[in-house]
Each structure stands twice: as C-alpha cells, then as structure tokens.
C-alpha cells in the first residue's frame, strides 16, 4: 500500500491524559523551535524558519526522520517572514526592518547588511536584486539588494491600511492590505511603483479559497461566497456572490458546483455555471457546525465539529448523508486522498478514516500531535510546515490494518475456531463484527482471511479467522 505523509498545523497546549499516541501513523520528524514559527522556506535539503523572538533557524532536513538545527541567527527584532535567494536569507524583522543574512555556511549564518524600514517589516519577496517589503503602515518598499552589505530603498508605494503580505509575479507585486483586500502594484519601474488595480472583499475573508479556470471562489465569512474573475491579474473583479445563511468557513469547487461549509447552515451546494449569478442548487443541514469541506467523486466530506459527515452529492439538488464518523475530538478540517479522509481533530490530533465504503467510514489510524490540530493537507511524499510553538510536523500514514489480540479477555463456549470451512461458517460470521485485512467492515463474505471482534461485558478482543471453501 502506498504511504502518505501528512502535514498538520497544530497549536501546542497541555498534553492530555494517558493514551495510545498513535495507530498506523508515526511522526516521521519533528523540530520544536524556542518560539512561534511564523515563516518557512525550503531549499533542497535545508529548511529556513523565522521564529519571532528566536530569530532565524536553519535546519537540515535531508533525513526527514531526524531534522536537526544547523545554525541560527538571533535577529534584533521580531522575525516574521522571510525569502531565500542564493546565499542569502532576507528576514522581515518587524521594527528592526529588513535583515540580510549570509547562509552560505548553514552552520554559521551571519548578518551582513540591513535596511531600517520606517514601518514594521512583516513580509518580503525577492526577485533578482530587488527585495519587496510589506512594511505594514508604511506600505510597499522596494529595496535594492545588489550589494547585500548595503541595501538601499529605491521605491515606495503607499497603500490603504496595513501591508501584511507580498508576492511578485512579472511586473506586478500583489500586496495583502489587511481589511482593504488585495492591491496590485506595477513595479516595472522599481523607482516608481504604483497601484493599478485592487480587489476589496466586503467582509473578512477566511484563509480558504478555491480556484477553477479564470475564477477564484473566496470563503468570506458573513459576506458569503465571493466569485472573483482573475483572468486579468491587473484588475481582479468580483462578478458574483452568494450569501449563505451563516458564516462561510470553507469551499471546494468541482465542475459547475461550489461546495460551501456554512457553519450552522451545514453544506450548501452552489451552481456556479454562471459565475455572475451563483444559485443554491441544494443543501444538507449537518447536525453541528460545518468548518471544512473536501469533495472526491460523488461525495462531499464535511468536517462538522462533532464529526465527519459523508454526503452523496451525485444529485446536487438533493444531497443526502450516507455515512458518518464520530471522532474523539472536534473536526476542524478535512482532506481526502485515495480512500482515506485525513481529519484535523483539535486535541485528538490527526485521525485517518477509511472512506472506501462511504456508508461505513472506519478509523484506521491516528496520531496525537503535540498540540491541537486545526488544519491538514496531503501532498506527495512529504509536506513540511511550521505553525505555532508546536514547530515542524511531518506525519506518515503507514496503511490501515487490524491487529489481532494476543491475550483475548473474552471467552465463550460458542467461539468459532480459527479455521472455518463451508458456507455455513460464513452465515455464522455474518452476525458478528467482521473486518477484512485492511480494517474495513467486511460485507459479502467469501473464503479468505478476516478479523472478528468478540465483545463481552466491558471487554473485547480481535481474532483472526481463515475461511476456506
């Protein structure tokens, strides 16, 4: 079975009572920084982390099982975010401005230059010899770093509210302006950057958005779902919106439909075939608070606070719940890969649920993260992430299975022997909790290997059973 490695965003809290820390999952690697991890960049086998009061940390991740710190530089301010280009790390260091750190020797990073910005440097992007700094109330600064020992400002563009994020593509810098949305800045002349477009969402946009074709679909809290035409990056334009009955916390788009997690209003299915006029096609009112949604095939998987709801959306006008799973924690987010749903479960960490039979989701693995798990993503072989004081988490799902009890506590005069033969044996098994070798509830029994759960009073055991023809 192919293994999956999962990144879980966690926030460290006190550990819970005694428990089994994992099942079919293991923490491949972990690094706990001295302070909150805010930014991370990975270059080849080196990870660079900005950790607020703990400055810049340089990690060797060539062996994901043993990430270890190579070196550090304790910046004079609060290290927020960073960019890495060539032999240099550029750190947005709050009131201490932009710091340029030579990382050619990862074991001994050294500051070689800085520029004291007039505001508070929060984010930075570097293209060629120019650094673009989101300097909060001072807007966007363009810094010439062709001489890293002596950075100098060459351009500035004021923006409304605080500049809190920046990304550069071609001749344009895209600046996050807090409550004033996204600002598009023409930087073709670095000495004269100027705003050429913006998109100002009416509400407080969440961190969740989905893209399909030329449109972005933004979960915008109490302002609902916003449909934005991004075909012209100079001038993103809202072309339509849908106001949900409650706060919109998540969105997934497949084909002509947007699937919206709408808090106490559950799952809403929105027809976006006409982006200018999105219309609700159907809904399913989940029993709790819908916080996240993922769609795979004909099913929507909803993180519904008290559990996972599996909803058949093959008929968008009439979504129907076909299965559910109640975890030990609170469902904050969900991602689906293959036959498994991966759930961020707060204090219950990461839960792995087999959804190959949507009518009967079964937990097949879990890993208790050092703190509360709020977000989860699955990508390729490894995903690296830093979030909060719980640091860098790399979690591997080893595959599902059922373990046989070595010392069963259940006794019964009518327990089947280990090896059964014939159709009559299958009938006797049909009335019990029977699982296949993957840990899934077994239906349509036929000759093979199964695991049978026997229960009596407050105890239970699992036995292997081989059925022959």
Q: Write down the domain spans for the chain.
A: 1-203+364-400, 209-248+250-290+292-331, 419-468
| Fold for the domain defined by 209-248+250-290+292-331 | Methylamine Dehydrogenase; Chain H (2.130.10)
Question: CATH topology of 1-203+364-400 equal to that of 209-248+250-290+292-331?
Answer: yes
The more confidently predicted of residues 430 and 410 is 430
d(CA 393, CA 365): 17
Q: How far apart are CA 329 and CA 267, in angstroms?
A: 20
Task: Average the pLDDT over 103-127 and give the result.
Answer: 95
Q: Whole-number mean pLDDT of the chain?
A: 79
- Residue position matching structure tokens 């930087």: 187
Three-state SS letters, 336-387: EECCEEEEECECCCEEEEECCCCCCCEEEEEECCCEEEEEEEECCCCCCCEC
The full DSSP string for 163-181 is: B-EEEEETTEEEEE-GGG-
Q: What is the pLDDT of residue 245?
A: 93
Residue found by looking up tokens 């009955």 in the block: 245
Identify whether the C-beta of residue 299 lies closer than 8 Å to the C-beta of residue 311. Answer: yes
* Sole residue written with tokens 């800045």: 185
**CB contact at 8 A, 342 and 301:** no
pTM: 0.60
Q: Which residue has the tokens 């660079």?
A: 48
Q: What CA–CA distance (Å, rounded) separates 381 from 112? A: 36
Task: Return the bridge partners of 344, or none.
Answer: 333, 350
* Local confidence band at 377 (pLDDT 50, 70, 90 cut-offs): low
**Which residues touch 80 (CB under 8 Å, ≥6 apart)?**
38, 39, 50, 52, 91, 92, 93, 94, 121, 122, 123
pLDDT at 388 over 50: no
**The pLDDT value given to residue 73:** 96
Distance of alpha carbon 430 from alpha carbon 10, whole angstroms: 41
pLDDT in tens, 294-320: 999 999 999 999 899 999 999 999 999
pLDDT tens column, 42-90: 888 888 988 889 999 998 888 766 778 899 999 999 999 999 999 999 9
Q: Which residue has the higher pLDDT, 178 or 217?
A: 217
Q: pLDDT band at 376, cuts 50/70/90?
A: confident
- Report the pLDDT value the prediction gives residue 281, as an integer from 0 to 100: 97
Provide the 3-class DSSP secondary structure of residue 426.
helix
- The per-residue pLDDT for range 159-201, each reduced to its tens digit, is 888 888 888 878 888 887 766 677 888 999 999 999 987 777 6
The pLDDT of residue 404: 45
**Helix (H), strand (E) at residue 267:** strand 267-271
Using left for φ > 0, alpha for ψ between -120 and 50, and beta otherwise, residue 281 falls in alpha
Structure tokens given for 266: 């559950």
How far apart, in whole angstroms, are the C-alpha atoms of residue 185 and residue 170? 11
Task: Identify whether the C-beta of residue 217 lies closer than 8 Å to the C-beta of residue 272.
Answer: yes
Q: Has domain 1-203+364-400 been given CATH number 2.130.10.10? A: yes
Residue 406 above 60 pLDDT? no
Q: What is the pLDDT of residue 228?
A: 86
């Amino acid at each position: 079975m192919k293994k999956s490695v999962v990144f879980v965003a966690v926030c460290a809290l006190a550990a819970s009572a005694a428990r089994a820390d994992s099942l079919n999952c293991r923490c491949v690697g972990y690094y706990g920084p001295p302070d909150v991890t805010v930014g991370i960049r990975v270059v080849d086998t080196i990870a660079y982390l900005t950790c607020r009061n703990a400055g810049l940390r340089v990690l060797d991740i060539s062996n994901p099982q043993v990430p270890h710190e190579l070196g550090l530089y304790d910046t004079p301010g609060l290290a927020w975010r960073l960019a890495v280009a060539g032999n240099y790390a550029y750190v947005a260091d709050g009131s201490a401005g932009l710091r340029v750190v030579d990382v050619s020797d990862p074991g001994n990073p050294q500051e070689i230059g800085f520029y004291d910005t007039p505001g508070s440097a929060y984010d930075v992007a570097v293209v060629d010899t120019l650094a673009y700094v989101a300097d909060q109330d001072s807007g966007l600064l363009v810094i010439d770093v062709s001489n890293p020992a002596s950075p100098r400002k060459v351009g500035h563009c004021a923006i409304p509210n605080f500049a809190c994020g920046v990304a550069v593509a071609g001749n344009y810098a895209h600046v996050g302006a807090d409550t004033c949305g996204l600002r598009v800045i023409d930087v073709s002349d670095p000495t004269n950057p100027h705003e050429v477009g913006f998109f100002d969402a009416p509400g407080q946009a969440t961190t969740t958005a989905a893209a399909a074709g030329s449109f972005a679909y933004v979960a915008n809290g109490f302002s609902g779902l916003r449909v934005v035409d991004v075909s012209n990056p100079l001038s993103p334009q809202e072309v339509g919106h849908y106001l949900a009955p409650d706060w919109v916390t998540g969105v997934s788009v497949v084909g002509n439909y947007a699937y919206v997690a709408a808090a106490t209003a559950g799952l809403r299915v929105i027809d976006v075939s006409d982006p200018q006029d999105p219309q609700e096609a159907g809904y399913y009112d989940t029993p709790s608070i819908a916080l996240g949604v993922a769609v795979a095939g004909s099913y929507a998987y909803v993180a519904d606070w008290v559990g996972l709801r599996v909803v058949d959306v093959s008929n968008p006008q009439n979504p129907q719940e076909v299965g559910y799973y109640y975890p030990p924690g609170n469902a904050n987010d969900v991602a689906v890969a293959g036959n498994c749903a991966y759930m961020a479960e707060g204090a219950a960490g990461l839960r792995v649920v087999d959804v190959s039979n949507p009518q009967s989701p079964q937990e097949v693995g879990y890993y208790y993260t050092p703190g509360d798990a709020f977000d989860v993503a699955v990508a390729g072989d490894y995903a690296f992430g830093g979030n909060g004081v719980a640091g860098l988490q790399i979690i591997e799902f080893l595959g599902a299975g059922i373990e046989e009890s070595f010392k069963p506590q259940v006794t019964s005069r009518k327990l089947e022997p280990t090896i059964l033969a014939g159709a009559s044996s299958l009938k006797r098994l049909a009335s019990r909790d029977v699982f296949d070798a993957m840990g899934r509830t077994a239906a349509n029994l036929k000759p093979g290997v199964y695991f049978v759960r026997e229960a009596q009073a407050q105890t239970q055991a699992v036995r292997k059973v081989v059925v022959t023809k």
